[in-house]
Structure 1
Amino acid sequence: KADKIRKRISHYFGLQPIVLESWITSLTLLRNACCHHSRVWNKVSSIMPVTPRRIAHSWITMPTNPQRVYFTICIIKYFLDIISPNNDMLDKMNRLFATFPEVDKAALGFPSGWENEPLWQ
């Protein structure tokens, strides 16, 4: 039964079950780091989330390190776009970066030109 449910949830998000599971693990680790006031800036994650071979919705195309926080932020955006298509995550991120211009986005794993990725359009 659990496998059937896992497949249904994965299908809903347009992902393979193994991708969904690794993404949920990445989200859990980021959530725990934030919750316990751990450093996420300029950090390489201990796990490697799976990069999907095929994906049903807009995703990133530039080479990106999946062990950096940017990749997990992209995972959040991917899920949010499905759950809440008219979300304002990008606007909130841009306001946050404008408020704290000293933050080095490259240290978070953001590639140059990340705003032009299909995920962020």
Structure 2
Amino acid sequence: MTVADDARATHWLTHVSYYRLSGYWHIWKDRSVADVTRFRAGTDFDRACSLYEFDRELRAVVGRAVEHVEVALRGSWAYALAHRGGPHGYLDAALYSDRGTFHGLLGKVATDTGRSAETYIRRYRDQYDAPALPAVWMVAEMMSFGRLSRWYSLVAAPDLRTAIAAPLGLREELFVSIVKHLVDVRNICAHHGRLWNRGFRSPPRLPHRPRDLGASLDTARVGHAAGTLYNSLVLLIYLVRQIAPSSPWRDDLVAALGTRLPDERAAMGFPTDWQARPLWL
């Protein structure tokens, strides 16, 4: 590996750490000799640092898209449940596929309600004795994205799950899987993990419809290989288009991707013809 400036390299290794930064130069390792760390000719330390900085930008861009999905799901979940059973209809155990899991989640809502410093929760506690838990639209705003995902996946009735997924333009059985996946993506972004060439152990189920979405995804891969960041980004492009059609988010993503070389995009799972696929046009 070429290191042009020892002082700069020392600064990076001091403030980022060797182990964290090493995740950005694995793609240039020479794999021909086992148990020996060698790099292919032309590998440059500054390029690895540049890739690290790109990943920081990528996490920020992706985090904006996940925010759109998270906020939309909060609203859709609360709206559908309120229309089905009123402000506190979500407390009906018959709505859910597993009573034990439901009661566990309910206990966490009760704990969060008791501890919350949010103004709207304090007002509810001060004004109402029963029901002890707030209305569904308050609960939706109070819980984490991960917990909201669990509540949604626990809904038993397909028609109710469909009503929740409908505003986001996907079939409910696929949307459950996609939401779980996006929780993982969100957590990586929030905790400053490496996103750039991330593989996902539990990839989302990939839709074939609508046609432009199916044609943009990389469905040629099988198993865990389907869980590449490329497919995550395509799903986010589609979802942001449903939620915020005028958002420049896709253009911002394309601009960021345009700063990287083909082998760096390939490490994210990008097919060679990605720019010709419908959602990227």
Give TM class, smaller chain.
0.7 to 0.9
Tell me how large the CA RMSD over aligned residues is: 2.2
- TM-score after normalising by structure 2: 0.38
Query: CA shift at 1:118, angstroms?
Result: 1.3
Instruction: State the identity as a percent.
Output: 25
CA contact (8 A) 1:60 1:119 kept: no
Query: CA shift at 1:97, angstroms?
Result: 2.6
Structure 2: gaps spanning 5 or more residues: 1-94, 96-154
Q: Is 2:197 aligned against 1:42?
A: yes
* Partner Cα separation in structure 1 for residue 206 and residue 178 of structure 2: 9
Query: CA shift at 1:11, angstroms?
Result: 2.9
Query: CA shift at 1:12, angstroms?
Result: 3.0
* Partner Cα separation in structure 1 for residue 228 and residue 179 of structure 2: 15
Q: Which has the higher contact order (CA 8 A, sep 6+)?
A: 1
**Equivalent residue, structure 2, for 1:9:** 164
- TM-score after normalising by structure 1: 0.82
- Decide whether aligned partners of structure 1 residues 75 and 50 sit closer, same or farther in structure 2, where only a CA change above 3 A counts: same
**Equivalent residue, structure 1, for 2:38:** none
Q: Is 2:187 aligned against 1:32?
A: yes
Structure 1: gaps spanning 5 or more residues: none
* Partner Cα separation in structure 1 for residue 193 and residue 176 of structure 2: 23
Query: CA shift at 1:80, angstroms?
Result: 0.6
SS in 2 for 1:104: helix
Letter in 2 for 1:45: F
- Decide whether aligned partners of structure 1 residues 12 and 33 sit closer, same or farther in structure 2, where only a CA change above 3 A counts: same
- Deviating beyond 6 angstroms after TM superposition, the runs of 4 or more aligned structure 1 residues are none
* Partner Cα separation in structure 2 for residue 56 and residue 22 of structure 1: 17
Q: Is 2:175 aligned against 1:20?
A: yes
Q: Residues 34-57 of structure 1, C-alpha deviation per residue, up to 9 Å, x if partnerless?
A: 11111122221010211124x236
CA contact (8 A) 2:162 2:172 kept: yes
- Decide whether aligned partners of structure 1 residues 86 and 48 sit closer, same or farther in structure 2, where only a CA change above 3 A counts: same
Query: CA shift at 1:19, angstroms?
Result: 0.5
Query: CA shift at 1:66, angstroms?
Result: 2.8
Query: CA shift at 1:60, angstroms?
Result: 4.0
Q: Is 2:238 aligned against 1:78?
A: yes
Query: CA shift at 1:67, angstroms?
Result: 0.6
**Equivalent residue, structure 2, for 1:101:** 260
Query: Across the two proteins, how many residue pairs are aligned to each other?
Result: 119
